[in-house]
Amino acid sequence: MKIEIEEAAKKLQSANNIVVTAHINPDGDAIGSSLALMHILHEMNKNVRVFIDDVIPPNFLILPQINEIEHPVELTEKEISADLLVVLDTQTDRIGRTLNLVKAPILNIDHHVTNEGNNVDWLYLNAEAAATCEIIFDLIKFLPINLTENIAHCLYAGLATDTGFFNYANTKPSTLRAAAVLIEAGVKPNVIAEEMERKSLADFKGLCEVLKTVEFFYDGKVAGLFINEAIAHLVDSTEGFIDLIRVIDGVEIAFMLTCKDKNLNRVSMRSRTVDVSKIARSLGGGGHIRAAGCSINTSFDEAKKIIIEAIGKSLK
């Protein structure tokens, strides 16, 4: 059932034991919104746990109390009872083991237009928001708390990374107004930016290998990066890699295919003009008009053929 933001706030206020989660392959918005909501719920004296069923990129270790994020694979409990499971920045089909681990009504808060609210009790969706962190920022207005520095840091990290540090088309006046308030609360933009852009020597060397894989398709309108199993072991994080080919003159769609496991490959897409959410949705994924992704469960070589063909159809 779709609800308004005021109702979402009431659901949070009425629950005492809350689990917060976000999608696998977590980005800044997933991590930032989850941690921000954790801090908000702590301010409300709620019992809260955060589960993310994947590795946290090292760039985000700067965020306050990020060590409190738990990984389902490491838990000894077979089932966790809670009053509410809050799913952020995704649909339930992308939260991994958490869905079967936590038994509770589900509140889904998201900004992805492709989210249809399947298998949840309540969905608050604002596709106009630049990030789920912007929604959480708005949510604070309906809760009995004040914006703290810890909350602000988490929200700013998600807001900045999901807008390409306010360069992407999803950046709106409301986005910049929210960022200004977060800075007034104590966020230092340069510190966040430097940490998000930092790369280990190993990741830098890995990036050099990744860039060697770039290929162009459809008269140069499409550029792809291909991180097979051998190259995937060279990098801890691929954050920002796709942006290096997105800016190439003439490229309308940039995509990155990454091998995550045997017969499991993840696709990230960025676009100037094409609605890549439709491409992602056709392959079981989702996202935004200009940024979307999906998983392809087959061999890496076959996944490469599938995504190139799907992109080609969208251009026609």
Q: Which residue has the tokens 């360069």?
A: 167
DSSP lists the bridge partners of residue 199 as none
Which H, E and C letters describe 61-92, residue by residue?
HHCCCHHHEECHHHCCCCCEECCEEEEECCCH
Q: Please say if the pLDDT value at position 228 is more than 90.
A: yes
What's the CATH class of domain 201-315? alpha beta
Question: Cβ distance 47 to 69 under 8 Å?
Answer: no
- pLDDT-derived band of residue 110, with 50, 70 and 90 as boundaries? very high
Q: Which residue has the tokens 């838990």?
A: 75
Identify the pLDDT of residue 213.
97
> CA-CA distance, 61 to 67, in Å (whole number)?
8
- Please give the average per-residue pLDDT across 149-158, as a whole number: 98
- pLDDT-derived band of residue 225, with 50, 70 and 90 as boundaries? very high
Question: Cβ distance 39 to 154 under 8 Å?
Answer: yes
Report residue 263: phi and psi, to 5°. 60, 25
Going by C-alpha positions, the residue among 65, 29, 38, 58 that lies closest to residue 157 is 29
- pLDDT-derived band of residue 163, with 50, 70 and 90 as boundaries? very high
Question: Distance of alpha carbon 246 from its chain centroid, rounded?
Answer: 18
Question: Cβ distance 226 to 265 under 8 Å?
Answer: no
114 vs 125, which has greater pLDDT?
125
Q: Please say if the pLDDT value at position 240 is more than 90.
A: no
> CA-CA distance, 221 to 168, in Å (whole number)?
19
Domain boundaries, the chain: 5-197, 201-315
> Could you tell me the fold of the domain covering 5-197?
inorganic pyrophosphatase (n-terminal core) (3.90.1640)
Going by C-alpha positions, the residue among 223, 309, 12, 254 that lies closest to residue 136 is 12
> CA-CA distance, 170 to 129, in Å (whole number)?
8
Percent of the chain past pLDDT 70, that is, above it, reads 100
pTM: 0.89
Identify the pLDDT of residue 37.
98
pLDDT tens for each residue of 262-304: 889 999 999 988 999 999 999 988 888 888 899 999 999 999 9
- pLDDT-derived band of residue 15, with 50, 70 and 90 as boundaries? very high
Amino acid, single-letter form, for residue 107: L
Identify the pLDDT of residue 41.
98
Q: Please say if the pLDDT value at position 128 is more than 90.
A: yes
* pLDDT mean across residues, the chain: 94
Q: Please say if the pLDDT value at position 126 is more than 90.
A: yes
Least confident range from 27-31, 115-119, 123-127: namely 115-119
Identify the pLDDT of residue 76.
82
SS3 254: strand
pLDDT tens for each residue of 169-206: 899 999 999 999 999 999 999 999 999 888 888 888 98
The yes-or-no answer to whether 5-197 and 201-315 have a common fold is no
> CA-CA distance, 235 to 266, in Å (whole number)?
15
Identify the pLDDT of residue 261.
85
Identify the pLDDT of residue 77.
82
Q: Which residue has the tokens 């918005």?
A: 29
Q: Please say if the pLDDT value at position 11 is more than 90.
A: yes
Identify the pLDDT of residue 279.
95
Q: Please say if the pLDDT value at position 242 is more than 90.
A: yes
Identify the pLDDT of residue 273.
87
Identify the pLDDT of residue 169.
86
- Please give the average per-residue pLDDT across 108-113, as a whole number: 94
pLDDT tens for each residue of 60-80: 999 999 999 999 988 888 889
Going by C-alpha positions, the residue among 123, 107, 103, 104 that lies closest to residue 115 is 123
Token readout for 256 is 């990155």
Amino acid, single-letter form, for residue 14: S
Give the DSSP letter of residue 76.
-
